[in-house]
Amino acid sequence: MSGSAITPWVVGNWKMNPMQSDSQQLIQSLKQYLQAAPISAQQCRIAVAPTAIALLPVQQQLKDAAVDVLTVAQDLSRVAGTGAYTGEVSAELLKDSGIEHVLIGHSERRELFGDNVQIITEKVKNALKADLSIIYCVGESLEQRESGQAEQVVLQQICDLANVVSNAQWTKVIVAYEPIWAIGTGKTASPADAQAMHANIRSGLKQLTPHGETMAILYGGSVKAENAEALAACPDINGALVGGAALNAESFYQIAQAFAQVKK
């Protein structure tokens, strides 16, 4: 199967936004776009990742959407199960609430909240053990890119993942390549640079698992309606992890539409 035959995913990472009433409006508006011109799950999987406190209201509000829109957690605890861990939300609690997907290793978690390799791999293990699917984020800093280390850094992050994923669990993994210098900065990797990194990631994944051939590899970093088509045209870019533009229903819908149309 070629990279472009993979069903694309467009996932909105809302980060620590918005307030509940704005979140309701955002979902309402997204539902209206999807009602007027549905994008089927075969054309493009659409998902939103609200804050922990909005996960269940958003999930509830999406129940009558014209197409299936998934609700994704932005993070989970490094501790499994239940217990005396104030402030934490475990993989099992997410699963018990009907949440099936979680982001892990976002650069903001790595840079601002101390999520190092050990913590990230504990989170990966917990998520997969609880039968959640993961969207595992990788990406290099500007310094690493400028010093020619981008590929090595990203492939090391893939190896960190491989150390804790069993053969059978690879089907529960999606990778998101997010160059740190492109997140929230308005700077996007050129489609050619992004494609080159995605091809490297795919070739690394193929060496680790047969599922590497068909795994969705999303691009993230200032994706917007204006650049979505060019990114979608790259064979190994199988979707987008969208931050800022996901807070506007029209832009987010247009990004999903671009992937659905270009990849069909």
Place of tokens 């807070």: 247
Least Å distance between CB 150 and ligand PEP? Answer: 17
Q: How far apart are CA 203 and CA 99, in angstroms?
A: 30
From the list 122, 140, 178, 198, the catalytic residue is: 178
Does residue 108 carry a catalytic annotation? Answer: no
Closer CB to ligand PEP, residue 111 or residue 146? 111
User: Per rule CB under 6 A, is residue 144 in the interface with ligand PEP?
Assistant: no
From the list 92, 106, 122, 198, the catalytic residue is: 106
Does residue 178 carry a catalytic annotation? Answer: yes
Closer CB to ligand PEP, residue 49 or residue 158? 49
Residue from 6, 175, 183, 225 that binds ligand PEP (CB under 6 A)?
Answer: 183
Show the binding pattern over residues 44-73: x = contacts ligand PEP (CB under 6 A), - = does not.
Answer: ------------------------------
Helices (H) and strands (E) in the chain, counts: 10, 8
Please count the residues of this chain forming the interface with ligand PEP, following the rule CB under 6 A.
13
Residue 60 — left, alpha, or beta (φ > 0 → left; ψ -120 to 50 → alpha)? alpha
Q: How far apart are CA 152 and CA 147, in angstroms?
A: 11
Quick one: which segment of 94-102, 112-120, 126-134, 214-222 binds ligand PEP (CB under 6 A)? 214-222
CB atoms within 10 A of CB 49: 28
Q: How far apart are CA 52 and CA 23, in angstroms?
A: 12
Residue 212: both structure tokens together? 């590497």
Number of residues in the chain: 264
Q: How far apart are CA 206 and CA 210, in angstroms?
A: 6
Show the binding pattern over residues 13-42: x = contacts ligand PEP (CB under 6 A), - = does not.
Answer: x-----------------------------
Sequence-separated (6 or more) residues with CB below 8 Å from residue 24 = 57, 61
Residue from 38, 81, 98, 184 that binds ligand PEP (CB under 6 A)?
Answer: 184
User: Per rule CB under 6 A, is residue 140 in the interface with ligand PEP?
Assistant: no
User: Per rule CB under 6 A, is residue 241 in the interface with ligand PEP?
Assistant: yes
Closer CB to ligand PEP, residue 212 or residue 243? 243
User: Per rule CB under 6 A, is residue 239 in the interface with ligand PEP?
Assistant: no
User: Per rule CB under 6 A, is residue 221 in the interface with ligand PEP?
Assistant: yes
DSSP secondary structure letters along 173-238: EEEEE--GGGTTSS----HHHHHHHHHHHHHHHHHH-GGGGT--EEEESS--HHHHHHHHTSTT--
Quick one: which segment of 36-44, 60-68, 110-118, 241-249 binds ligand PEP (CB under 6 A)? 241-249
- Residues with catalytic function: 106, 178
- List residues binding ligand PEP (CB under 6 A): 13, 178, 183-184, 220-223, 241-245
